[in-house]
Amino acid sequence: MTFKEYISKTLGKSVEFDGIYPYQCCDLVNDYMQKCFNVFTYYPYNFNAQQYFTRFKEVSALVKNFTKITNTPEFVPMQGDICIFKSADNIGHISIATGEGNISYFYSYDQNWNGHNFVAKEKHTYTNFLGVLRYKGNALDTTGLKRGDNNAGVYAYKMMLKLAKTCKIISTGVDFNSIYGKGTEKATNEILRKLKKKENGIAGAKLINALYEAILDKIVNF
């Protein structure tokens, strides 16, 4: 089942998964993971929402199928990301990102939030936001440079992206700094789209090597 199909089926409805406490936020996300990714994580762990992030490494199905991404000042969740929040009682909250938002706020599909015991589209700030679990799918890389990073490696990668644009390999432009922001993520996803890989916004070794080969081919055949 695709993301859009799942949301179309569940929006405005109450989702029950485990038959214990009805219509919890974890019910929605467990149901989503099973129906969209065929990933079953509930038994025997029975985690609360916050523990999907804090105890991520304890669940092999999560480690195998998802990339854990910690929130940063420049991070914005992508569509389908599983968003995890902390709370004072250490229970937290979990939801599914719509893909809409910026560094000040974002939207997700939530259950058991704002008094709703059904799936609703909600607006969130980044207060108490821990980060996301992102489905690996057919990702080219699951680790590497990503949105929110700020270092010399990002600067070097962005120089490659500028050269790629000059060579007409991509059409997305980036600026001259060491911050991996929205524009860099867009350019990265353009490359991944051309490679027919999951657009997860991650520039790892495989993507950078593919970009290098594409630029080299353009230069050699100039």
Please report whether residue 186 resides in a domain. yes
- Kindly state whether residues 117 and 13 are assigned to the same domain: yes
Please report whether residue 35 resides in a domain. yes
**Number of domains observed in the structure of the chain:** 2
DSSP for 37-72? H-----TTT---TTHHHHTGGG-HHHHHHEEEEE--
Domain range for 47 is: 3-135
Chain mean pLDDT for the chain = 93
Residues 6 or more apart in contact with residue 192 via CB below 8 angstroms: 140, 198, 199, 200, 207
- Residue 142 CB burial class (10 angstroms; 0-12, 13-18, ≥19): middle
pLDDT digits (tens, 9 = 90+) for 2-59: 899 999 999 999 999 988 889 999 999 999 999 999 998 765 456 899 999 999 999 9
Distance CA 199, CA 149 (A): 17
Please report whether residue 142 resides in a domain. no
Res 45: pLDDT: 57
Examine the fold and report which residue of 110, 135, 160 is the final residue of a domain before the chain moves on: 135
pLDDT band, residue 123 (cuts 50/70/90): very high
Q: Name the nearest CA neighbour of 52 among 20, 21, 28, 19.
A: 28
Quote the pTM value: 0.77
Query: Are residues 120 and 114 in contact, defined by beta-carbon separation less than 8 angstroms?
Result: yes
pLDDT digits (tens, 9 = 90+) for 45-74: 568 999 999 999 999 999 999 999 999 998
The answer to whether residue 221 scores a pLDDT higher than 90 is: no
